[in-house]
Amino acid sequence: MKTPSTSPTSSTPLRGTQPHCQTCSLNALCLPLSLKDTDMERLDDIIRRGRPIQKGQLLFQQGETFQSVFAVRTGALKTYTLASNGEEQITGFHLASELIGLSGYEADCYPLTAKALETTTVCEIPLPQLDTLADELPDLRKQLMRTMGTEIRHDQNMMLLLSKKNAEERVASFLLDISQRYQRRGFSASHFRLPMSRVDISNYLGLAVETISRVFTRFQNNELIETQGKEIILRDMDALYEMAGLVSSTHCEKHDE
């Protein structure tokens, strides 16, 4: 019983059954979003469901031939790029319903590595079939491009974070980002389990592990959060939003000034 019942990862839709997009509880968040039933069936036909991959295992590796994109069904992964000196930079964490691998679209091989943070199941979508289907189903094509657009905006927000924010602002932004993503999935926005280690967080945020730890402690002393290992409770989300520099949504608001 390592994960308490509050943990989002403990809820695994479709475990043990042969899953289909039509019956998947994530289809309103995932690629089938906005697809008609008949279209969803065609997408469903090309999707391959593999056995779970264990914590620490790779889904694909930087440099391998680009063959498929993946949707996370349960669990969580991190994706990272390798610098030539061997250092890794985590570019994203991926929770259930999120799509991985589209960034390799143009290239013939994956530009990054995907590693499971815990036991994870994914839906594999082979590129050739997806490509064909994208030409035949306008809704799917739009959804793919929307996904890529979202990824670009995420990465550009990270550039701003890495370039302009201090340690506390980075951690606050990170916690709220995770919070929002869990909320979208119907979980608590304030009480959840971080699937990644402190080291992963520090790498992602461009800080030293020790700094993450110190900021967490400081946030606890100021009663902004409570932590117990990977479990975390956001106690003062307003203050965190303030600190993160996110009044509500950072982009796409009418500017009036």
Write the binding mask 137 to 166 for DNA: x where contact by CB under 7 A, - elsewhere: -----------------------------x
Give 10 or 208: the residue with its C-beta nearer to a second copy: 208
The answer to whether 216 and 168 have CB atoms below 8 angstroms apart is no
Give min distance, CB of 70 to DNA, in A.
24
Write the binding mask 134 to 173 for a second copy: x where contact by CB under 8 A, - elsewhere: xx--x--xx-xxxxxxxxxx-xxxxxx-xxx---------
What residue 229 binds from DNA, a second copy, none (CB within 5 to 8 A, per partner kind)? Answer: DNA
- State yes or no: residue 58 binds DNA (CB under 7 A): no
Show the tokens assigned to 213: 């730890």
Give 52 or 206: the residue with its C-beta nearer to a second copy: 206
Considering only residues 180, 217, 222, 250, which one is a binding residue for DNA as defined by CB under 7 A?
A: 217
The candidate with the shortest Cα–Cα distance to 130, out of 188, 59, 47, is: 47
Which residues in the chain belong to E strands, given as ranges?
48-49, 58-60, 68-74, 77-82, 88-94, 99-100, 113-116, 121-126, 191-193, 225-228, 231-234
Considering only residues 167, 189, 239, 246, which one is a binding residue for DNA as defined by CB under 7 A?
A: 167
Give min distance, CB of 123 to a second copy, in A.
20
Q: Which amino acid is at 209?
A: V
Q: Is 199 helix (H, G, I), strand (E, B) or coil?
A: helix
Write the binding mask 169 to 208 for DNA: x where contact by CB under 7 A, - elsewhere: ----------------------------xxx------xxx
The C-alpha atoms of residue 12 and residue 206 are separated, in whole angstroms, by 32
- State yes or no: residue 255 binds a second copy (CB under 8 A): yes
Alpha carbon 98 to chain centroid, angstroms: 6
The C-alpha atoms of residue 158 and residue 245 are separated, in whole angstroms, by 13
The C-alpha atoms of residue 31 and residue 27 are separated, in whole angstroms, by 7
The C-alpha atoms of residue 169 and residue 234 are separated, in whole angstroms, by 15
- State yes or no: residue 210 binds a second copy (CB under 8 A): no
Q: Which residues bind a second copy (CB under 8 A)?
A: 61-63, 81, 83-85, 87, 89, 91, 102-112, 131, 134-135, 138, 141-142, 144-153, 155-160, 162-164, 203, 205-206, 245-247, 250-255
